[in-house]
Amino acid sequence: MITRKRLVAGVFGLLVALTGGSFPAVATADSEPAGKPAPKVELVLDVSGSMRATDIDGKSRMAAAKQAFNEVLDAVPPEVRLGIRTLGADYPGKDRRTGCKDTRQLYPVGPLDRTEAKAAVATLAPTGWTPIGPALLGAAEDLEGGDATRRIVLITDGEDTCAPLDPCEVAREIAAKGIHLTIDTLGLVPDAKTRAQLVCIAEATGGTYTSVRHTDELSERVSQLVDRAAEPTLTPVATRGADRCEKAPALTPGLYTDRETFGEHRWYRVDVLPGQELRASVSVAADRAVNRDYGVLLRASTVHGREIVRGEAAGDGRTDVLSTGLRYPSPDIDDADTDGSGKPAAETVCLRVSNSFSAPAGVKTTPGLPVELSIAVVDGPDEAGDAAFLGLGRGWLFLGLLIVAGFVTGVLWGRLSRWRVSVWRTN
């Protein structure tokens, strides 16, 4: 005898059988390539006395850093081996020799215990000196060994106070070892001298510098840098744009860094196959004082100079980063040109990055402003008639399966309803 439970189970079993082949596989940590070394990141936090200043969102720099750390720790990818090192956290005295040794590893580089790491950060209080150079040397030692991606993220609000051990020279020495260790620097409400030193440290190892004035900016930027360690393709590659498209570097999908002088135009080239979509974005960082009224333009054009699409952004007042982006779907294969062999030819898209920043009197205009350019080339939208349902499948096959599943469900549900009515009348 067919019971209601058996009939319902049969319906669901049939639906699963019909649609099971259309669901994409879910990526898991176990699906990563075997033997892939876990990326290593060490966050180096300044805990010197100046971190008491209350100029970040109405609270102290230390409080802002702790809040940002808690948010970052919650979002660290599971494959990342993360550690925390402090500088200026323990010695409150005036002896320079002792103060310049004040750096220690607060949390060891390894699998992250979020509760333990947060508890360690919570105990910190602004204390002493700013030995950036010794802290960078210690962090490099903490990350030694293996072939994994390695990254130091330095968060500080002031210049190193332990010269002649120049932290910029320390960064150059680390880079000269060829151990592929990147140092990114973040300056909390930095002055000109601090900014110059942090820019030098970052440039020495191919890292980035960011000026931070708000808590959310700090947490967002540190999270981005940790994610870059987890995904090497997100690590920026240095490039140099040209003064016209014909001489521009050909870029493939990825993240790139450059420097652009005030009011300059720089060109880059990207090849896009028929049916693909180009997605590009650019960020220009004002790492020094700039005049009011500024803008950034990202313009895509053909090799003949015809504009295709543009993205632009403007501002008025103090900023640290100004960003814009664009999307360009290349024509379908049927509308595309062909190469000598009769195959669809890639279209060369010329990308021009322009800025309208200007500098006040007395502000150095060299080196240029940091530029970060993101390039992605993805498959374009499917042809008309393709269908997607909750991201589970695409195309005529999935649409057909949905129709069949709906028809079968309707038939079975009708029979179930008639059976229930017959049982009700019998009783």
The tens digit of pLDDT for each residue in 336-354 reads 555 556 667 899 999 999 9
Q: What is the pLDDT of residues 238-264, one digit of tens each?
A: 899 999 999 999 999 988 889 999 999
Please indicate, yes or no, whether residues 189 and 306 belong to a single structural domain of this protein: no
What is the DSSP-derived secondary structure letter of residue 250? Answer: B
Question: What is the predicted pLDDT for the residue at 381?
Answer: 56
pLDDT at res. 263: 92
* Helix/strand/coil for 232: helix
CATH number where 226 lies: 3.40.50.410
84 and 207 co-located in one domain: yes
* Same domain flag for 403 and 329: no
- According to the model, what pLDDT value does residue 323 have? 84
Between 15 and 413, where is the model more confident?
A: 413
Alpha-carbon distances, residue 318 vs 294, 311, 322 (angstroms): 10, 21, 11
Q: 74 lies in a domain?
A: yes
* pLDDT band per the 50, 70, 90 thresholds, residue 419: low
Does residue 45 carry a pLDDT above 90?
yes
Do 133 and 241 fall within a single domain? Answer: no
pLDDT, position 126:
94
127 shares its domain with 193: yes
CATH number, residue 296? 2.60.120.380
- Model confidence at 17, in pLDDT bands (50, 70, 90)? very low
Q: Tell whether the model's pLDDT for residue 406 goes beyond 80.
A: no
Same-domain status, 192 and 338 = no
Any domain includes 145: yes
Q: What is the pLDDT of residue 132?
A: 96
The 10s digit of each residue's pLDDT in 138-161 is 999 999 988 888 999 999 998 898
Residues in the chain: 427
The CA–CA distances, whole Å, from 3 to 6, 8, 405, 414 equal 5, 9, 21, 15
Give the mean pLDDT of the chain.
81
Domain membership flag for residue 33: no
Predicted pLDDT at 10:
46
Last residue of a domain, one of 201, 234, 267: 234
What is the sign, positive or negative, of the torsion defined by CA atoms of 92, 93, 99, 101? negative
Query: Could you tell me if residue 162 is inside a domain?
Result: yes
Give the model's pLDDT for residue 405. 60
CB 11 within 8 A of CB 409: yes
Span of 25-39, 249-263, 269-283, 304-318 with lowest mean pLDDT: 25-39
Of 175, 210, 234, which marks where a domain is finished? 234
Q: Which of 120-129, 171-180, 382-391 has the lowest mean pLDDT?
A: 382-391
Query: Does some domain include residue 385?
Result: no
Say which DSSP state 242 is in: B
Does any domain span residue 255? yes
- Note the pLDDT of residue 156: 95
Rounded to the nearest angstrom, the gap between the alpha carbon of residue 412 and the centroid of all alpha carbons in its chain is 50
Among 181, 208, 234, which residue terminates a domain? 234
Q: Is the pLDDT of residue 52 over 60?
A: yes
Q: Kindly state the average pLDDT of the residues 199-205.
A: 87
Q: Which two tokens stand for residue 20?
A: 């099971």
3-class secondary structure, 225: helix
Reply yes or no on whether the pLDDT at 72 is more than 90.
yes
279-313: per-residue pLDDT in tens?
998 988 887 888 989 999 999 999 999 999 999 98
In this prediction, residue 19 carries a pLDDT of 40
Give me the pLDDT at residue 35, please: 61
Both 123 and 76 in one domain: the answer is: yes
State the pLDDT confidence band at 195, using cuts at 50, 70 and 90: confident
Q: What separation in angstroms does the CA of 249 have from each of 33, 70, 266?
A: 32, 40, 10
| Same domain, yes or no: 189 and 323 | no
> Considering its fold, how many domains does the chain have in total?
3
Claim to verify: residue 299 and residue 349 sit in the same structural domain: yes
Could you tell me the pLDDT band of residue 83, with boundaries at 50, 70 and 90? very high
Q: With bands split at pLDDT 50, 70 and 90, how would you rate the model's confidence at 168?
A: very high
Model confidence, pTM: 0.60
Evaluate if residue 400 carries a pLDDT over 80: no
User: Residue 349 and residue 336: Cα distance in Å, rounded?
Assistant: 14
> What CA–CA distances, in Å, run from 270 to 24, 250, 284?
30, 6, 20
What residues make up the domain containing 398?
A: 393-419
pLDDT computed for residue 322 by the predictor: 82
Give yes or no: residues 86 and 161 share one domain: yes
Quick one: pLDDT at residue 408? 62
User: Residue 273 is which amino acid?
Assistant: L
More confident residue, 387 or 261: 261
Residue 17 lies in a domain: no
Residues 226 and 191 in one domain: yes
Q: Which helix (H) or strand (E) holds 220?
A: helix 215-230
Residues 323 and 224 in one domain: no
**pLDDT score recorded for residue 40:** 94
Angle in degrees, CA 251, 256, 259, rounded to 5 = 115
Q: Which of 126-130, 355-359, 392-396 has the lowest mean pLDDT?
A: 392-396
Q: Are 182 and 72 in contact (CB under 8 A)?
A: no
Residue 244 lies in a domain: yes
Torsions phi, psi for 230 (to 5 deg): -70, -30
Phi and psi at 187, nearest 5°, equal: -100, 125
Share of the chain above pLDDT 90, in %: 48
